[in-house]
Amino acid sequence: MALKSSKKTAVNTYELELLLDKASFDAEVMKVYRRSVGKMNVPGFRRGKAPKSVVEKMYGKTVFYDDALETLVPPLYEEAVAQAKLDVVSRPDIELVSVEDDGVLLKATVTVKPTVKLGEYKGFQVYRPEVTVTEEEIDREIDAVRQRNARVLTVEDRPAETGDDVVIDFKGYRDGTPFEGGEAEKQSLKLGSNTFIPGFEDQIVGHSTGDAFTVSVTFPEDYHESSLAGQPATFDVKLHEIKKTELPELDDEFVKDVSEFDTLDAYKESVRSKIEERKNASADAEVERQLIDQLIGVMTAEVPECMIESEIDRYVNDYDYRLRSQGASIDLYYQYTGSTPEALRGSFRAEAERQVKSRLALEKVAKSEKLKAGKKEIDEEYRKIASGYAVEMDYVKQNIPEDGIVSDLLAQKAIKVLRENAVVTVGEKPKEEAAEKPVEETAEKPE
């Protein structure tokens, strides 16, 4: 039996005594000795030929213990945790207590999931934003599609206008002397975008392809280069090209090109439905947010710090992954923002703590309501994941433990219980909700 004893030593902390068979320990120590002796220098013996007793006398009797325990402890520990029926949430702190003829005694200190108590969680009062779709929203959505399908034409019969895209050379001067960073060739610029210094783009309007002219501006007082802030400057500009964007006509032919519909009216109705679907999803998410916040409010639990730190680890790793997928890295993030690992972790802390607490509270609801996840539901969830990542379901099952799937399903069922028993008011956010403290800022997400 792996578990000799189990006792609670502090809040959420247990101490397990593990007993390892001496014969198994001695056999593993011998294996380690045979693997290691060839790397040891023992005076009077050829490399690899020194007896185990001599090596132990020279390097200490415990010289092979760590490597032996590294192999033996994990299965022993897992068996002991199962026997103790503990829900462990931390890595164990393992200590070798003694090696005797009747066995090897180890002590494992672990943190367990906290005891959760809930107050009344049925009857929460929440609001749901009213979902409406305006003609302006539909027009904006369709205009975005028109922009994606627009033609870019070279303009040769008129001067540049606001809204045109131009290609220019420019060279900047302050007091007649060129300044660093004030020069470029074949620079693209959309007139009216306010990308350049205020007044620069306005002075290109009215000029034609091939024109060379001077633009006079004053740098803003808060300009990032302090030596130029608030200073007047001139730019010699050469206009190489003017382009305009021509949107397709909004008619049935356009609709047939960009959708499965044949008429503009049918297309508009589909756009309305998609906007409404998005808004409904957003409204549902807002209701869920309020339900979770109120559920956390009626929860009592001493949440172990290690659970919050583990969640922060997950946030940081996910952030790093997204940065790398965009060709950046978390080190570059620190370099360009001046942030630090500690600051980044701190920015995630509030949300990580909320996530841990919500998970614990929803687990308690699921247990109180005796909610279950059936095999068909579990398989369906695996199928969704496999379909989303375009991989075989067997592959997903090998990489995602069923316990995690079950936990997610039970959380969804628990939220459904909260929603079904809540008092939901449709309309604007109540005044007390509107007066909430601002959410603590988190690390900027990469676009």
Question: pLDDT tens-digit profile of 64-82?
Answer: 999 999 999 999 999 999 9
CA neighbor of 371 nearest in space, from 408, 327, 345, 329: 408
Question: pLDDT tens-digit profile of 210-239?
Answer: 999 999 999 999 888 888 999 999 999 999
| Domains 3-112 and 257-434 equal at CATH topology level | no
3-state DSSP call for residue 72?
Answer: helix
CATH for the stretch 3-112: 3.30.70.1050
Question: pLDDT tens-digit profile of 384-417?
Answer: 999 998 999 999 999 999 999 999 999 999 999 9
- CA 179 – CA 229 distance, rounded (Å): 13
Q: How many CA atoms lie within 13 A of 352 on its CB side?
A: 24
The most distant pair of C-alpha atoms in the chain lies apart, rounded to whole Å, by 100
- The residue ranges of every structural domain in the chain are 3-112, 151-246, 257-434
The pTM (predicted TM-score) of the whole model is 0.76
Architecture of domain 257-434: Orthogonal Bundle (1.10)
CA neighbor of 125 nearest in space, from 446, 439, 440, 429: 429
CB within 8 Å of 161: residues ≥ 6 apart: 191, 205, 244
CB within 8 Å of 288: residues ≥ 6 apart: 415, 419
Question: pLDDT tens-digit profile of 120-179?
Answer: 999 999 999 999 999 999 999 999 999 999 999 999 999 999 999 999 999 999 999 999
The angle that helices 65-84 and 22-36 make with each other, rounded to 10 degrees, is 150
**Which one-letter amino acid corresponds to residue 353?**
E
**Residue 172 β-bridge partners:** 235
3-state DSSP call for residue 66?
Answer: helix
The CATH number, out of the four listed (3.30.420.10, 3.10.50.40, 3.20.20.80, 3.40.50.2000), of the domain defined by the range 151-246: 3.10.50.40
The answer to whether the beta carbons of residues 12 and 110 sit under 8 Å apart is no
Structure token digits, residue 273: 């439905």
